[in-house]
């Protein structure tokens, strides 16, 4: 089992939608994390991502991305609480150390937690939902028309990561079978050399497939499926609500000197909308039509 | 006469490391639509010739070229692999590193996109190629979920999707089990017959591919030593290079029969023509019950005692299901079974790399395990740092102590890795996982000799292998696994003589009367062959 979520074909509307549309759907939720600092709105976006992941059959992958994101979020919260001294509500009075006073305030802790939550939303949307539900080959195919070699390099990097992970695992097993296990440095150097060998092999394979010709791929315009339309509409709705809400000043948060949190009908409605929009395009019979083999 | 698809005239090539010429004065012509097998020992120049035909030599590897090599009207000295890719598709040994994209459909589309083909043409070519090569059901799969055999078929489809006239394959079956290997060879034959694609296949297991071949080119030290139809090639090999002869051809040669059969069917016909009456294949002999065998040897101390072992994967299958197996000191055992039968898992449990989920593994002393990829054991820059001076000598590499293990041939690496794991001996048991993959017959014979030495030193040696000929050559006991259990356990004659799949070529020719060419020839000369 890979700790970082990887794409697998699954029978869901999100998988069946074209990669650009799937990307837009995930990016719309990431946009909420980028635009808002309000914990309720961030929680709404996170819940939207989680229900979308569960409905698309990648709930475990999204869960793994949350596990991956939580330590970062926690670190951010702790560092902000320790480093920033602003805020009126003192939680912990520390002494003098390294020439400065160390105090922890409620406001600095809150601000750190908000930033951590934004990180969690971004990682869950892009590192979890997008990695697990949007076909990277399709995505990079679109990029190849703009920058062929960069996109192909990115594809190769994506492809080689699991291969190299398996190589490293095998080498680890081999080291355990040696009567005199070599030092970690020697193993690391050998693993790196193996990775270079793999890269050379892949380069040779690319050469004989005509990589040197590197013609610009022709543009393809397949017809829009019902899933393309529904998910694109949802992505537009999420992004529109997020941008509109931000412009209208919904979800105002002030951390310093004291915490001020707007919590009216607009915030509650917007958070509820994010949750519903995460689920809406993936629910019902229409979302199950023609999704096998996606 | 049609224009040859490839023509070499006094073509020579040396790699840039200065290790001498890898190809010397190679002259040959490949006609369109022919199926050519490249034969030769490891290091004879087969891979280099294939790399020259696809343009990687000299454009990718560098080095010095002399003479002329023209493929599809393009001179490889002036046209690189990108241009030659229009004429020839190439498939290498290692399935994992030649599949480039994450999805099968994208993999097949890539070569066409390189050529700027319009979307409709890409779609049609991918569909038709996938259907023809039997990979249509894999189109929506991710490449990292495919088996080795499936990956090789996808690699062939990707090499053929743009319709090249020539397909080059460098030991494509060496990483596959026999069933997947046989399927691949017959797929190539169909491709050759239906599409008219000229195929050039470098292979060690000649008995597998000679029945499909029109012609065999044998390379010895970079030179073309023989270029002839299969039967003529086998006649040459019997005299000049016995290590390159198939078991059936060797059987006929040793028995003094004039024919050199290229397939089991031809061999049977040859025997009938020589007046040897073969009875119908007897029903498989039930393997001797292990319990009885154990009762005879039960008082001896065990090298390895595996009892009631289960290995169950979380959210996955039960790989082993209450397996029992005991090994005596000095025993030579071949562990066989299809891919996924649990051979590698059993060896890992025996060594202690994995722990059984139920059951018990008792070891009579230290256990050495050589895993499938010998390169994983070779960590250092110099052979002597990995195996020590004694190990290098024991691996037959005296004088090459300072060689970088990555510069050694596959067979040499395998021998060196074996000495690395044996460095801490003595061992109660030595376990080898698929040590003969990609090995030529000479290297296999040398490995069989080393196994004999280890057994004489009282170590139980168990080798997981798909190679029935190799198993028959070294083992005194064959253990057959299926569905995580022992489904056959006995002498090679018990298990390999009557099997439909797990049997040697000579056993198939002689209806199980003999396993190896020498044994079969003795039988034929003693009893059956008149005069």
Does A4 touch chain B if contact means CB atoms closer than 8 Å?
A: no
Over chain B, what is the mean pLDDT?
Answer: 89
- When mean pLDDT is compared across B115-119, B191-195, B238-242, the lowest value belongs to B115-119
Contact A207 B143 (CB under 8 A): no
Contact B81 A207 (CB under 8 A): yes
Q: Tokens at residue B524, please?
A: 């034929």
For A30-42, the pLDDT digits (tens) are 999 999 999 999 9
Question: Between A and B, how many residue pairs show a Cβ–Cβ distance under 8 A?
Answer: 159
CA distance B179 to B176: 8
Residue B328 has pLDDT above 60, yes or no: yes
How far is the alpha carbon of A120 from chain B, nearest alpha carbon, in Å? 27
The whole-model pTM stands at 0.82
ipTM for the whole complex: 0.81
What secondary structure, in 3-state letters, does B490-512 show?
ECHHHHHCCCCCCCCHHHHHCCC
Asked if B209 contacts B216 with a C-beta cutoff of 8 angstroms, the reply is: no
Residue A120 has pLDDT above 90, yes or no: yes
* Structure confidence at residue B289 as a pLDDT band (50, 70, 90): very low
Whether the link from the prior residue into B79 is cis, omega within 30° of 0, is: no
For B80-122, the pLDDT digits (tens) are 998 999 999 999 888 788 888 888 998 999 889 888 888 899 9
Angle at alpha carbon of residue B470, lines to B467 and B473, rounded to 5°: 150
For B417-453, the pLDDT digits (tens) are 999 999 877 899 999 999 988 788 888 999 999 999 9
Residue B248 has pLDDT above 90, yes or no: yes
E-assigned strands of B121-236? 166-170, 198-202, 215-220, 223-228
Point out the residue among B56, B101, B421 whose CB comes nearest to the CB of A207. Answer: B56
Which of A11, A177, A223 is the best substitution to test chain B (most B C-beta atoms within 10 A)?
A177
The arithmetic mean of pLDDT across residues B296-300, rounded, is: 59
Segment 48-67 of chain B within 8 Å of chain A by CB: 54-56, 59-60
CA distance A290 to A293: 8
Place of tokens 């060797």: B250
Tally Cβ neighbours within 10 Å of residue B324.
16
* Structure confidence at residue B5 as a pLDDT band (50, 70, 90): very high
Residues of B in contact with A179 (CB under 8 A): 366, 368, 421, 423-424
- Percentage, residues of chain B above pLDDT 70: 94
pLDDT higher for B527 or B469? B469
Which of A6, A16, A158, A208 is the best substitution to test chain B (most B C-beta atoms within 10 A)?
A208
Residue A294 has pLDDT above 80, yes or no: no
Asked if B340 contacts B313 with a C-beta cutoff of 8 angstroms, the reply is: no
Q: Tokens at residue B233, please?
A: 């090639």
pLDDT higher for A94 or B141? B141
The bridge status of strand B6-14 relative to strand B21-30 is: antiparallel
The listed range with the strongest mean pLDDT (A141-145, B187-191, B284-288, B292-296) is B187-191
Contact B106 A156 (CB under 8 A): no
Give the per-residue pLDDT at A209.
85
For A209-267, the pLDDT digits (tens) are 887 776 667 777 788 999 999 999 999 999 999 999 999 999 999 999 999 999 999 99
DSSP assignment of B96-136 equals HHH--SSBHHHHHHHHHHHTT--HHHHHHHHHHHHHHTT-G
How far is the alpha carbon of A224 from chain B, nearest alpha carbon, in Å? 16
Q: Tokens at residue B202, please?
A: 């470098």
The arithmetic mean of pLDDT across residues B151-167, rounded, is: 92
Asked if B196 contacts B2 with a C-beta cutoff of 8 angstroms, the reply is: no
Closest residue in A to B432 (Cα–Cα) = A177
Segment 150-169 of chain B within 8 Å of chain A by CB: 158-159, 162
Point out the residue among A190, A202, A218 whose CB comes nearest to the CB of B97. Answer: A202
Asked if B396 contacts B347 with a C-beta cutoff of 8 angstroms, the reply is: no
Residues of B in contact with A213 (CB under 8 A): 82-83, 85, 114-115
Look at residues A196, A200, A180 and name the one whose alpha carbon lies nearest to residue A188: A196
* Structure confidence at residue B275 as a pLDDT band (50, 70, 90): confident
Does A146 touch chain B if contact means CB atoms closer than 8 Å?
A: no
Contact A201 B379 (CB under 8 A): no
Residue B474 has pLDDT above 80, yes or no: yes
Dihedrals phi, psi of B323, to nearest 5 degrees: -80, 140
The arithmetic mean of pLDDT across residues B483-495, rounded, is: 92
């Amino acid at each position: 089992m890979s700790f970082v979520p990887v794409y697998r074909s699954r029978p869901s509307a999100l998988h069946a939608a074209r990669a650009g549309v799937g990307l837009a759907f995930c990016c719309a939720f990431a946009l909420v994390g980028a635009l808002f600092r309000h914990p309720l709105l961030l929680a709404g976006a996170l819940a939207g991502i989680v229900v979308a992941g569960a409905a698309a059959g990648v709930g475990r992958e999204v869960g793994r991305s949350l596990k991956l994101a939580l330590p970062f979020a926690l670190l951010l919260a702790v560092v902000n609480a320790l480093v920033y001294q602003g805020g009126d509500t003192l939680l912990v009075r520390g002494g003098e150390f390294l020439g400065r006073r160390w105090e922890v305030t409620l406001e600095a802790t809150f601000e750190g937690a908000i930033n951590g939550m934004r990180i969690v939303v971004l990682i869950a949307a892009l590192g979890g939902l997008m990695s697990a539900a949007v076909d990277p080959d399709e995505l990079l195919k679109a990029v190849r028309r703009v920058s062929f070699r960069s996109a192909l390099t990115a594809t190769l990097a994506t492809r080689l990561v699991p291969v190299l992970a398996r190589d490293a695992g095998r080498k680890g097993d081999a080291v355990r079978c040696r009567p005199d296990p070599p030092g970690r440095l020697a193993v690391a150097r050998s693993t790196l050399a193996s990775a270079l060998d793999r890269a050379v092999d892949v380069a040779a394979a690319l050469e004989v497939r005509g990589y040197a010709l590197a013609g610009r791929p022709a543009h393809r315009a397949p017809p829009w499926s019902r899933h393309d339309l529904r998910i694109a509409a949802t992505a537009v709705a999420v992004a529109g609500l997020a941008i509109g809400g931000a412009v209208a000043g919904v979800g105002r948060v002030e951390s310093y000197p004291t915490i001020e949190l707007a919590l009216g009908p607009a915030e509650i409605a917007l958070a509820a909308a994010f949750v519903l929009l995460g689920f809406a395009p993936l629910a019902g019979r229409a979302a199950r039509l023609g999704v096998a083999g996606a | 006469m049609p224009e040859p698809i490839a023509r070499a005239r006094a073509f020579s090539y040396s790699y840039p490391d200065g290790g001498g010429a890898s190809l010397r004065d190679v002259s040959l012509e490949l006609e369109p639509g022919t199926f050519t097998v490249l034969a030769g020992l490891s290091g004879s120049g087969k891979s280099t010739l294939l790399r020259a035909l696809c343009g990687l030599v000299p454009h990718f590897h560098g080095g010095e070229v002399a003479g002329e090599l023209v493929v599809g009207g393009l001179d490889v000295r002036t046209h690189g692999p990108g241009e030659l890719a229009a004429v020839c598709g190439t498939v290498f040994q290692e399935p994992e590193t030649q599949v480039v994209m994450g999805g099968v459909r994208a993999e097949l589309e890539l070569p066409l996109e390189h050529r700027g083909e319009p979307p409709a043409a890409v779609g049609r070519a991918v569909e038709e190629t996938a259907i023809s090569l039997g990979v249509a059901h894999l189109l929506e799969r991710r490449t990292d979920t495919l088996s080795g055999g499936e990956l090789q078929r996808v690699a062939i489809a990707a090499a053929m999707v743009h319709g090249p006239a020539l397909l080059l394959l460098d030991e494509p079956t060496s990483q596959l089990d026999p069933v997947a290997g046989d399927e691949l060879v017959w797929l190539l034959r169909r491709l050759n017959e239906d599409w008219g694609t000229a195929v050039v296949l470098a292979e060690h297991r000649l008995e597998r591919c000679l029945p499909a071949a029109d012609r065999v080119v044998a390379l010895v030290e970079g030179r073309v030593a023989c270029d002839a139809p299969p039967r003529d090639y086998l006649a040459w090999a019997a005299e000049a290079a016995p290590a390159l002869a198939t078991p059936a051809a060797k059987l006929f040669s040793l028995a003094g029969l004039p024919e050199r059969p290229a397939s089991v069917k031809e061999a049977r016909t040859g025997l009938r023509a020589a007046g040897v009456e073969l009875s119908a294949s007897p029903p498989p002999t039930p393997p001797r019950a292990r319990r009885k065998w154990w009762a005879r040897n039960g008082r001896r101390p065990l090298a390895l005692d595996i009892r009631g072992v289960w290995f169950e994967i979380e959210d996955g299958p039960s790989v082993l299901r209450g397996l029992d197996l005991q090994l005596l000191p000095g025993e030579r055992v071949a562990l066989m079974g299809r891919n996924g039968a649990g051979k590698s898992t059993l060896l890992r449990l025996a060594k202690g790399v994995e722990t059984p989920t139920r059951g018990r593994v008792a070891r009579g002393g230290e256990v050495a395990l050589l895993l499938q990829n010998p390169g994983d054991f070779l960590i250092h820059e110099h052979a002597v740092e990995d195996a020590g001076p004694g190990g290098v000598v024991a691996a037959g590499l005296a004088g090459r102590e300072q060689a970088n293990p990555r510069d050694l041939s596959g067979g040499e690496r395998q021998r060196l890795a074996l000495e690395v794991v044996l460095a801490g001996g003595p061992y109660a048991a030595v376990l080898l996982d698929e040590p003969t993959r990609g090995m030529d017959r000479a290297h296999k014979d040398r490995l069989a000799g080393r196994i004999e030495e280890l057994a004489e030193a009282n170590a139980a040696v168990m080798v997981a292998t798909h190679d029935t000929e190799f198993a028959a050559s070294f083992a005194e006991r064959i253990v057959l696994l299926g569905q995580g259990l022992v489904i056959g356990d006995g002498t090679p004659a018990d298990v390999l003589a009557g099997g439909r799949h797990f049997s040697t070529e000579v056993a198939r020719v002689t209806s199980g009367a003999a396993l190896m060419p020498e044994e079969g020839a003795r039988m034929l000369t003693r009893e059956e062959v008149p005069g």
